[in-house]
Amino acid sequence: MYWYLWTGMLINRVGGFVALVLSLYLTADRGLKPGAAGLVVGLYGIGGIAGVLLGGVLADRWGRRPTLLLAHFGAAAFVGGLALTRDIPAIAALAALLGLMHSMPGPAFVAAIVDVVPAADRNRGFNLQFWAMNLGMAAASVIAGALAEVSFPLLFTIDAAGTLVTAVLLLWKVHETRPATRTMGGPAKGGLHTALTDRAYLAFVGLSLLLAVVTMQSSTILPLAINADGLRPTVYGSVVAYAGLLIVAGQLFVPKLIDRWRKGTTLAVANVFLGLGFSCVALASGVPGYLVAATIWTIGSMLAAPPNAAVIAELSPEALRGRYQSVFYLIFPAASFIAPAAGGVSLEFLGDWHWVICGGLGALAAAGHLLIQPARERRVAQAEKERLAVPVAG
């Protein structure tokens, strides 16, 4: 079952490249000015925020499989609509709906992986998931760039086809994975508010937001630093491609390295590497310096992926896994706003000290993970003890 989910995520990521070129399509093909195009892309993002929350709720209420099928068939329909319409208001509405559908599968996919992968193997399972996502994103970037030069309608059509392939695979091979209720008294109580008021979980989510803000410097502020050093835009593309290749080449070796480490310790080390890598940007002035910095922060990203997902799985009640995943996924749109908004001002007024501050945020997050680790481990141990003490409904 895991491998069908993994394959579905890979195909979906390879085929889901419309979002990468949406702004280019709106300006180059539809003739919108950058401000108007940004507004439409912003609607895609707003749809994504709603989709994350809706996807988590539906994954718990309807089930993982129905949520995944709705999201993929819906996304294919809306991408097809983008290929056929030339009306700007219609494009804006479709962009918002597409953002909704693109974000819905995330919580359901991860909740399904938690359902089917034993706790002892989750580090490896989530590591392979992270690897597939990065491999798919790298392929999508190449395909999107090539197709955008040929035909945007063709690009939309191929995207829709890839999404349909994923939907058919899920329909054919993936059955419902949502756990049956363990208690004799019926479904577990709780809802989205349970995750939003879970202090231990929110502490972890808050530290993960710091990590995401630092990580997103590579896609928001780093191009400005490279440009300020008088380097060509192709240098930025090369640095990002190099980081992606490092993940594809090295991610599969991470589980063996960290299997014996405590999750909080692993996350602390990961944040130190991330912070140190972006701090090195302050010293970089040429391609070698940026490649060294990228190497260091990419090691941090690689180390963080498996324990991040495993901690979410540990803290999530069985009946609320989708909702807990959706709350975690909110950090990405939040970081997408904070990283460029705060980072741009910081770089403008502080110059290279901006990158030193990024290093400080990494160190702060590392300390936070070490601080909350004992209490979180006690909670997980107590929850497991209670789970084993409850008879399975029969």
Instruction: Dump the DSSP string for 159-172.
Output: HHHHHHHHHHHHHH
Ranges under pLDDT 50 in the chain? 182-187, 394
Q: What CATH class does 2-120+151-173 carry?
A: mainly alpha
- Nearest Cα residue to 106 out of 60, 71, 156, 61: 71
Report if pTM > 0.75. yes
**What is the predicted pLDDT for the residue at 384?**
81
Distance CA 11, CA 166 (A): 6
**What is the predicted pLDDT for the residue at 189?**
65
Distance CA 326, CA 57 (A): 8
Q: In the numeric block, which tokens belong to residue 270? A: 């990961």
Per-residue pLDDT reduced to its tens digit, 195-250: 999 999 999 999 999 999 999 898 779 888 888 899 887 788 788 888 888 998 89
Q: 230 phi and psi, to 5 degrees? A: 75, 20
Distance CA 83, CA 152 (A): 8
**What is the predicted pLDDT for the residue at 365?**
97
CB 288 within 8 A of CB 307: no
Q: In the numeric block, which tokens belong to residue 293? A: 């910095």
CB 71 within 8 A of CB 9: no
Please give the C-alpha separations between residue 235 and each of 8, 239, 288, 323, in angstroms, as whole numbers. Answer: 33, 6, 10, 40
Beta strands in 131-196 (DSSP E): none
Q: Hey, which CATH number is domain 192-387, 1.10.3720.10, 3.40.430.10, 1.20.1250.20, 3.30.479.30?
A: 1.20.1250.20
| Residue 33 CB contacts under 8 Å (≥ 6 apart), including other chains | 27
- Nearest Cα residue to 113 out of 231, 1, 192: 1
**What is the predicted pLDDT for the residue at 78?**
95
* Local structure of 300: helix, strand or coil: helix
**What is the predicted pLDDT for the residue at 185?**
43
CB 358 within 8 A of CB 279: yes
Q: What is the DSSP letter of 186?
A: S
**What is the predicted pLDDT for the residue at 155?**
87
Q: In the numeric block, which tokens belong to residue 216? A: 């997103």
CA 308 to centroid of chain Cα atoms? 11
Distance CA 37, CA 53 (A): 25
Domain with CATH 1.20.1250.20 in the chain: 2-120+151-173, 192-387
Over the Cα atoms of the chain, what is R_g?
21
